[in-house]
Structure 1
């Protein structure tokens, strides 16, 4: 089953842009997903387990590297057409 996740990361520190970029770059390394970023969020679509694993791994790695942050994530069952 396919799953689409729309994610917005909010690092809890002043120099937040490099942290967000690193999060997106890490997410883009995951094979088997379609990823599109814009100014407000990053959308990821793929197999259910793969998307959940991506969210877990990317948030865990980002938190370990950069400290506290908030990830707002919407999960939409199914495959959506995501475009830039």
Structure 2
């Protein structure tokens, strides 16, 4: 089953942009998961288990590396067309 996730990271640091860029670069290490980023969030699309494993690994890494930060996620089982726009 496919899974689409919209994720936003809000680092509790003054230099928040470098933390967000670091996190997005780490997401790109998973070629089996498609990533699309805009000014408000990042969307991920891929196999359900692969996406959930990626999130578990990379969210933990972000907290270990940078300390406190807030992740806000929306999960859509079955996936969505990330290229759709109106």
TM-score (norm: length of structure 2): 0.93
2:16: which partner in 1?
A: 16
Gaps of 5+ in 2: none
The reply on whether 1:38 has 2:38 as its aligned counterpart is yes
Q: For 2:31 and 2:49, locate their aligned partners in 1 and report how far apart those are by CA, in whole Å.
A: 12
Correspondence list, 1:61-80, <5 A: 61-80=61-80
1:6: which partner in 2?
A: 6
Instruction: Encode CA deviations 1:6-59: one digit per residue, 9 max, x unaligned.
Output: 000000111100000010110111121110000000000000000101111111
Over the residues paired in the alignment, what is the CA RMSD in angstroms? Answer: 1.2
| Regions of 4+ moved over 4 Å | none
- Tell which structure's C-alpha radius of gyration is larger: 2
